[in-house]
Copies of this chain bind each other. A is one copy, B any other.
C-alpha cells in the first residue's frame, strides 16, 4: 500500500482518490488545501487521517510516501519540487509543467532524491490503449490520423463576461492545447513516436492563450492532425488511417470503444473491451506497480513520452508567441 496525500480539492482530485481506492494499492493519509475549512471537510469526506494547510509541513510528514497534485497548472512545478526534495513520489496532473526546463529540473530532483515523478494522464494506461497499440499493425502503412478533443468549457461563459479563469490565463499556464490537446497528443506520441515537424494553428484569445487550435505532427509518410478546443464542441470520434484499414476511437480519453474498419473487405469489428467506469484506476495501478517493483524501464518510457509531449506543446506555443508567466 502506498500512503499518499493530495493537493487540490476539485473533482479531478476526488476522481483520483476514488480510483486509488479502487486499485487497492493506495491509502489516503493526508489532504492539503490553502483553506483550513476546505482541508478539514475534504479529509473527513475521504477518511484521510491528516489535513494540511501548509505545503512544507505536509512535505515533511514521514507517513506520506507519495503526493498527487491537482492544483492550477502554474503551481505544479514549485509544489512538485517541494515534495521531491522531501523524498516523496509525485503524481502530477496533466499538463505536468509549463515548459521543458521545469520538467528536466524536476526529473533531476526526483533522481537525486531517489523518488519517482509521474504525469497523470489517464488514457495511455487503459486496456483499450494497449489493445490499440498492439493491433495498430492491422492498418498497414499509416497515412494519417485525426484526433479531436474539443469541449466547450462552462468557464468560457465567465471569460466572455470579462473574467479570466485559470484555464484561459497565461498567468496560470492555461489554454486548449495544454489542457485538452495533451490527451490526443499523448496518444500520438505513444503510438507514433516523436514527430519530425510540429506546427500549431491556434485561435488566440484576448488573454494571450489558445481557446482552440489545430496541431499538425508530420511523420515520415504520414500526417497526424490534432484538434483541440475549450470554446467549441465536437461530436466526431478519432480516426487513424492506414492503407489497409481505419481505426475509429470513440474518444481520445478514455478510449471507450475501438472499431477497426477493413478498407478492402469493408468489414468492421470492435476490438475494445469494457473498461472500468472510473478509468483513472489503470493509471493508479500502473504507477503503483512501477513504484512498488522499481520498474525503471517502464518509468523511463513514461518520462520519455512526457518529455516529448511537453517539447511539442512548448514548440507549438513558441511558434505562436503564446507565452506563460512561468516561461
Contacts and interface: CB of A to CB of B under 8 A. Distances in A.
Nearest to A144: B212
28 contacts: A143-B203, A143-B231, A144-B203, A144-B212, A144-B229, A146-B146, A146-B148, A152-B243, A152-B263, A156-B243, A199-B199, A201-B218, A201-B223, A203-B222, A212-B241, A214-B216, A214-B223, A214-B225, A216-B216, A231-B243, A232-B241, A232-B242, A232-B263, A233-B241, A234-B239, A235-B248, A235-B261, A236-B237
A243 B157 CA distance: 10
Given A143-B229, A212-B241, 6 more contacts: A143-B231, A160-B243, A225-B227, A232-B241, A233-B241, A233-B245
Contact of A203 (B203, B223, B237, B245): B223
A246 interface: yes
A150 B248 CA distance: 14
Interface residues of A, number: 40
Contacts of A241: 150, 212, 229, 232-234
Given A223-B203, A227-B225, A232 B144 contact: yes
A221 B204 CA distance: 7
Interface of A: 143-144, 146, 148, 150, 152, 156, 160, 199, 201-203, 211-214, 216, 218, 221-223, 225, 227, 229, 231-237, 239, 241-243, 245-246, 248, 261, 263
Contact of A216 (B201, B221, B236): B201
One complex includes copies of this chain to the number of: 2
A12 B133 CA distance: 41
Contacts of A199: 199, 201
B223 A146 contact: no
What are the nearest 5 A-B pairs in CB distance?
Answer: A232-B241, A143-B212, A236-B236, A201-B223, A152-B263
A236 B150 contact: no
A262 to B, nearest CB: 9
Contact of A211 (B143, B152, B203): B143
A106 B246 CA distance: 41
A236 B239 contact: yes
Nearest to A154: B264
A206 to B, nearest CB: 11
A146 B227 contact: yes
Contacts of A156: 243
A229 to B, nearest CB: 6
Contacts of A201: 199, 216, 218, 223
B223 A213 contact: yes
